[in-house]
Amino acid sequence: MRIIRSIHGYQAWRRQHENEEIGFVPTMGALHEGHLSLIRRARKHCSKVVVSIFVNPLQFAPTEDLSRYPRPVKSDQQLCREAGIDLLFRPSHEEFYPEDFQTSVKVNRLSQRWEGEARPTHFEGVATVVTKLLCLVRPHRAFFGQKDYQQLLVIKQLVRDLNLATTIVRCPTIRESDGLALSSRNRYLSASERMQAAGVSVALRQGKQAIRLGKRQVSTIERDMKKVLGKLKGLDIEYVAVCDAHNLEPLTNAKGSIVLLAAVRLGHVRLIDNMLVKV
């Protein structure tokens, strides 16, 4: 595994591999089984696998957890090595966003609701860093987890809108045995919060099951999911929603391709999760 830290270094490597099928897994580090599943998928489909680790300040609000976001550099490198990737790209903040950096990319409609409401500058930060990474890395395929579903839609949209030559591959959410979706932020949870956290996936699964069993009225489905979440100690609901899986507009009747979204707070930790269902 090569480790490259400079943009020019990466560009030189890329030019030497023009005839390879490049798979790309962009991450903010603090790698877990979710990231490793993306890497495995990339290895299966591509002849070279590039992983980037870059904690992108643009997608954090000033009040958020940028400074305490975990950065376990050594163990991340070890995990990448064991996963058999070809190149680890770890750009420095100074080179990636030099002082005169001033371009931003925005995906207007898809960024407005849900996470966009809770975190108003978040998706502009995501869209900017992902556009920059895709233009620089020039992968044939890039692999993203379904866990951050709205992010996935934002990225698919910008790739389509800007005609980037990359296919975005959605990969399934990886869960703990009790159903909690893997996330680098799970490590912030206290033992008791960790116990409650699994309830988010329980509520979503129940909503999904209700739809599968024929329930159609979204207000009832959402109320039942909120009831499940309401029983969890110390958990505050930010939103629970049953939406069109393509454009994230809220539905009144469950029909077509549906995504169930949930965002909650457990103490200082914000958790999101989602499930897809088709009827």
- Return residues touching a copy of itself (CB under 8 A): 7, 11, 18, 100-110, 127, 131-132, 135-136, 138, 157-158, 161-165, 247
Dist. CA 195–CA 187, nearest whole Å: 13
Strand partners, 217: 253
Tell me which of 8, 17, 35, 45 is the catalytic residue.
35
Q: How far is the CB of 108 from a copy of itself (least distance, A)?
A: 4
Question: Which strands, in side-by-side order, build the sheet including 257-266?
Answer: 235-244, 257-266, 269-278
CA 17 – CA 19 distance, rounded (Å): 5
C-alpha 228/C-alpha 220 separation (Å) is 13
Adjacent-strand bridge partners of 76: none
Alpha-carbon torsion (42, 48, 53, 59), positive or negative: negative
Distance in angstroms (rounded) separating the CA atoms of residues 23 and 6: 19
**Residue number, 33 or 249, with CB nearest to a copy of itself:** 249
Q: Three-state DSSP class for 126?
A: helix
163 contact partners, CB below 8 Å, separation of at least 6: none
- 278: how many CB neighbours lie within 10 A of its CB? 10
Q: How far is the CB of 80 from a copy of itself (least distance, A)?
A: 22
Greatest distance between any 2 Cα atoms in the chain: 57
Enter the tokens of residue 244: 């069109």
Active site residue 35: yes
Angle, helices 122-137 vs 149-161, to 10°: value is 50
Catalytic site residues? 35
